[in-house]
Amino acid sequence: MCGIVGLFLKDKTLEPHLGEMLTEMLVTMTDRGPDSAGIAIYGNEVNTQKKLTVQSDNGTEDFVTLAADLSAAIGVDVSLNRKDTHAVLHIPSNSIDTARSALRELRPELRVMSAGDTIEIYKEVGLPSDVAARFDVRKMSGTHGIGHTRMATESAVTTMGAHPFSTGPDQCLVHNGSLSNHNSLRRELRREGIHIETENDTEVGAAYLTWKMQQGSTLGEALDSSLEDLDGFFTFVVGTKDGFGVVRDPIACKPAVMAETDQYVAFGSEYRALVNLPGIDQARVWEPEPATVYFWNH
């Protein structure tokens, strides 16, 4: 099954409450997939700095001197904000590539969850309420965010198999469904030089959109072409630095409900996920059409 929630804020006064609203929505979807959960939050941008979210099963050892070690290796100031098994590194923008290569040398076992100006991704095996509590998601603010709770089908229940998947700067994707041509598409994308970490079908979907956008497509155009090139069942919700998109395959058997008011655009696998949002009784609520791309930009 899997459960998806997404919230794209139009009203800035709601931004401090994004984490709290998204957590409530995600926890409501627990029974659609209780094996792992994750959340992507687009937070505040710090000028001239990039965020790199990394994960380690042994954070106590790996993170304690990481900022100092990385600073020493690349010769610029790096700060680190640890949250349980994840840590967000703040790195000067012009040093991001050297920092990532240095990181591979210094801590080869670290997994990179996301990189970009505003995105942070937190995901782990476990129930949504536990995962949200571990990372203190309720306290996070931001402009938009996407959450996912997983019932695994195409690959193992692991941290790296959890959603959201990020395959490009400030990009992320969550998926309800299963792709059937992911093996051949993964081979093609790897030949094109796209880095794909896992054997998971959804990561191939994310990598496909990254590849399309690298070639100059907008998010909307990339989603449009996914309808031609991806085979299988999917309801996708995707995020970029300033955008939020939704697309369903032409069969559209994976559920989706959307709501829009002057304050936000919200997505839920079920209406239950939306019932606590402010003004939901007056919101425009609809089921996204099959094979139709929806997206919003800030």
Partner 1 sequence: MQTFDLEQNDLRTLNATLHAQKTNTNQTAWNIINPRGSHAIAVGLDAPIEVTVNGSTGYYCAGMNQQATVNVKGSVGPGVAENMMSGTVIIDGDASQYAGATGHGGLLVIKGNASSRCGISMKGIDIVVHGNIGHMSAFMAQSGTLVVCGDAGEALGDSLYEAQLFVRGSVKSLGADCIEKEMRPEHLAHLTELLTQAGSDAKPEEFTRYGSARQLYNFDVDNAGAY
Of the candidate spans 8-16, 168-176, 187-195, 287-295, the one that interacts with partner 1 by CB under 8 A turns out to be 287-295
For residues 88 to 127, the per-residue mask of contacts with partner 1, x marking binding by CB under 8 A and - elsewhere, is ----------------------------------------
Please identify, using beta-carbon distances, which residue of 159 and 269 lies nearer to partner 1. 269
Per CB under 8 A, contacts with partner 1 among 175-214 are none
The site that binds partner 1 (CB under 8 A) totals a number of residues, namely 17
Q: Looking at 97, 229, 279, 286, which residue binds partner 1 (CB under 8 A)?
A: 286
Q: Is 133 in the site for partner 1 (CB under 8 A)?
A: no
For residues 215 to 254, the per-residue mask of contacts with partner 1, x marking binding by CB under 8 A and - elsewhere, is -----------------------------------xxxx-
Q: Looking at 1, 133, 160, 275, which residue binds partner 1 (CB under 8 A)?
A: 275
Residue 253 CB, shortest distance to partner 1, in Å, is 7
Q: Which is nearest to 155 in space by CA: 197, 209, 211?
A: 197
Residue 271 CB, shortest distance to partner 1, in Å, is 4
Rounded to a whole number, what is the distance in angstroms from the first to the last CA of the chain? 31
Contact (CB, 8 A) for 73 and 106: yes
Q: Looking at 15, 92, 158, 271, which residue binds partner 1 (CB under 8 A)?
A: 271
What is the spatial distance between Cα 94 and Cα 81, in angstroms, rounded to a whole number? Answer: 20
Q: Looking at 57, 61, 77, 287, which residue binds partner 1 (CB under 8 A)?
A: 287
Please identify, using beta-carbon distances, which residue of 135 and 264 lies nearer to partner 1. 264
Q: Looking at 169, 220, 255, 278, which residue binds partner 1 (CB under 8 A)?
A: 255
Residue 137 CB, shortest distance to partner 1, in Å, is 22
DSSP lists the bridge partners of residue 259 as: 266, 285
Of the candidate spans 34-42, 86-94, 108-116, 280-288, the one that interacts with partner 1 by CB under 8 A turns out to be 280-288
- Here the tokens at position 98 are 């050297």
Which residues are known to be catalytic? 2
Q: Which residues bind partner 1 (CB under 8 A)?
A: 250-253, 255, 257, 270-275, 285-287, 289-290
